[in-house]
Amino acid sequence: MTNTMKVVIMVLSLITGTVAFAAQGSLKTIEFVIDQRERNALLYIPANRSRFKGDRPLVLMIHGSGGAARGMPSLTRFRFHTLANHDGAYVVYPNAYKKMWGFGEAFADTARDTGVNDETYFKALLNKLAEDYPIDRNKLFITGISQGGSMSYFLACRFPGQVKALAPVAMSLPKAFKELCADVKDMPLLLMNGDADPVVPYRGGKVTFLGRKYGSVLSTSETVSFWRKLNGCTKDVETDSLNRALNDKTWVERKVWRNCHRAPVVLYRIKKGGHAWPGGRQYLPKALVGRVSREIDAADEIWRFFRLFF
């Protein structure tokens, strides 16, 4: 190969690399002060955003206890970024104070007390994002894993006029939130729980990890029943099974309640699945959190559900 040819190939590689990078959008740290504390979040800005007119939807992807915003894109294998590029949506990864979400004194038994009520954090974060970016703050879509799932319920019930749909993963409704959520109406819900989850019991009870208890949750069935009543759903249900990864040792049962006032309820029961994000990475040893199912990609399923309400 001649030196000229090598130079041409190198230049083409640089050009191709630059274009590919540009097509990926960008991840930006958002910083602000609230309650005399420095707080932050990560915001994914979709590629080619000039193609999309008007204010865009915002997807909140909330980490669990002990986690951090920086670990969430890789948990989903960056799938939300690809989907955000396609639809011109923004994705924000909030960051908890001391890696634990705070729900205020009224819900102190749902988490270790950090002295923080993160409702004010989320209000400040949404205000800042709406000021600086073309985001429709009345088109919020919330998902999260584990305690991030708890925060998904909390925010949906605190701001029902702004949240268009929620999709908790590995988390049933905390018992402490039943009264808070009692007046919510027509809120689309997608719930994804593993029935072999060693942390959040599928049949309800105490949330436990490494011997520590973090409040109580309804069973998955009770959570779905509670939300179906909120949405005015009948008992009519469509059921199907997904078993795509033959060596996975898990399978998925999907139930959809469509005959509701306006908002459906969807349950993915991950059979033999653990405290995990289906299709994501094994973020902790199987002995601690159980199996990660490969039958579905949670990011794809959740985004497809959210897109119905964009």
At 236-247, the pLDDT tens digits run: 999 999 988 778
259's tokens: 């005959």
The reply to whether 21 falls in a domain is no
Mean pLDDT for the chain?
Answer: 91
Q: What is the mean pLDDT of residues 143-170?
A: 98
Would the pLDDT of 107 be above 70? no
- Could you tell me the CATH number of the domain that includes residue 98? 3.40.50.1820
Selection from 118, 106, 117, 114 nearest residue 62 by Cα: 118
Question: How far lies 101's CA from each of 67, 96, 122, 152, 185, in Å?
Answer: 10, 5, 11, 11, 25
Residue 243: what pLDDT? 85
275's tokens: 């405290």
The answer to the question of residue 221 being in a domain is: yes
Q: Quick one: average pLDDT of 136-145?
A: 97
Per-residue pLDDT at 40: 98
Out of 45-59, 182-196, 204-218, 239-253, the most confident range is 182-196
Tokens of residue 95, six digits: 């960051």
Which structural domain range is residue 187 located in?
26-307
Q: Is residue 233 part of a domain?
A: yes
Give me the amino acid identity at 124: A
pLDDT at 49: 85
> Residue 112 — very low, low, confident or very high, per pLDDT cuts 50/70/90?
low
Is residue 23 pLDDT above 60, yes or no? Answer: no
Helix (H, G, I), strand (E, B) or coil at 78: coil
Q: Is residue 44 situated within a structural domain?
A: yes
- Residue appearing with tokens 């590689």: 13
CA pair distance 16, 69, nearest whole angstrom: 30
- State the angle between helix axes of 118-132 and 147-158 in degrees (0 to 180), rounded to the nearest 10: 70
Choice between 246 and 203, residue whose per-residue pLDDT is larger: 203
Query: Is 15 within the bounds of a domain?
Result: no
Helix (H, G, I), strand (E, B) or coil at 157: helix
Q: Which of the four pLDDT bands, split at 50, 70 and 90, describes residue 58?
A: very high
DSSP assignment of 103-166, as one string?
Answer: B-GGGGGGS---S-BHHHHHHHHHHHHHHHS-EEEEEEEEEEETHHHHHHHHHHHH-TTTEEEE
Per the structure, how many domains does the chain have?
1
Evaluate whether residue 16 is within a structural domain: no
Is the residue at 284 inside a domain? yes
Instruction: From residue 235, give the alpha-carbon distance in Å to each of 186, 219, 229, 262.
Output: 16, 18, 10, 15
